[in-house]
Structure 1
Amino acid sequence: MYGFTTKFKGRYEEAIQQVTDELSKEGFGVLTEIDVKATLKKKLGIEKRPYIILGACNPELANKALTAEPDIGLLLPCNVVVREEEDNTVTIAFMDPQAVLGLVQQPGIHDLATAVKAKLERVRERLDVS
């Protein structure tokens, strides 16, 4: 599997704010926000449920990864998806760094991926889950 998820008790907007706050506690900043719903509406004229991709980055760990493997930027940042389901519940999905960075055959990357995953799992655990 390439990711892990949790259900959020609350509204979509609250989920975005809370996941951003929890990521910050683990040293992550959100570098990008892709509003998939708005993009698909603008480009294709289709309606989708609220869906955002947050590009999260821990600068210290990203620097270590880039030092070990300069092209690892192709696999960064760690994406976190917040989406509203048909029943109005909210799902938060996290990229699994071990699955993605497992593509890299470079010493030290496995340990970094393990550290990043542990941080993301702590974020998931602290969210208001059902």
Structure 2
Amino acid sequence: MFDYTVTTSKSVDEAVASLEENLKEEQFGVLWNFDLTAKLQEKGQDFDTSYKILEVCNPKEANTVLSENLMVGYFLPCKIVVYKDGEETKIGMPKPTSLIGMAEDGGKLTEVAADIENRLISCIDRTA
């Protein structure tokens, strides 16, 4: 499966705040907390679903993968989305192992991608 997605009873804002704290524990910083709903509404679009996209990065891991293959930068920073789906809040991400598999010579980085994936999944699970 391409993604990892869970459901939480928290609101989108509560989930984002909790997720940011959990990411810090794994040395992932939030580079950007993008409010897609606000941006689409600003552009005149009728979109009222609460939808946040967090771009997250661990500098040490980014350096490791970029030193091996610069094209991996196409997948960076890692994205985690938090959004309202009906009455539920969902937290999810594309799996780094799925993404790295698309890169030329990505196989060399499979272990690193799996470690990053497991750490991000742990952050998501602790948030949910």
SS at match of 1:79: strand
SS in 1 for 2:27: coil
Q: Look up the equivalent residue of 2:26 and give its one-letter code.
A: E
| Structure 2 gaps, min length 5 | none
| Regions of 4+ moved over 2 Å | 105-108
Task: Look up the match of 2:103.
Answer: 104
Secondary structure of the residue aligned to 1:104 is coil
> For 1:62-116, what per-residue CA distance to the aligned partner results, in whole angstroms no more than 9, with x for missing partners?
10001001221111111000001222x2110122000011112325311111111
**AA matched with 1:13:** D
| Counterpart residue identity of residue 102, structure 1 | G
User: Does 2:72 correspond to 1:76?
Assistant: no
Structure 1 vs Structure 2: percent identity of aligned residues?
Answer: 28
Asked if structure 1 preserves the Cα contact closer than 8 Å seen for 2:55 and 2:79, the reply is yes
Q: Which secondary structure does the structure 2 equivalent of 1:31 belong to?
A: strand
Give how far 1:7 is off.
1.1
Give the residue type in structure 2 aligned to 1:125: D
> What is the CA–CA distance in structure 1 between the aligned matches of 2:126 and 2:47, rounded to whole Å?
32
* 2-structure distance, mates of 1:55, 1:83: 14
Matched residues, number: 127
Alignment of 1:29-108 (within 5 A): 29-87=29-87, 89-106=88-105, 108=108
- The gaps in structure 1 that reach 5 residues or longer are none
- Alpha-carbon separation, structure 1, partners of 2:66 and 2:60: 10
Aligned residue type for 1:98: T
TM superposition shift of 1:47: 2.7
TM-score (norm 2): 0.91
Query: Over aligned residue pairs, what C-alpha RMSD do you find?
Result: 1.4
User: Which sits farther off after the overlay, 41-50 or 13-22?
Assistant: 41-50
Counterpart position of 2:5: 5
Given the two structures, how large is their TM-score scaled by the length of structure 1?
0.90
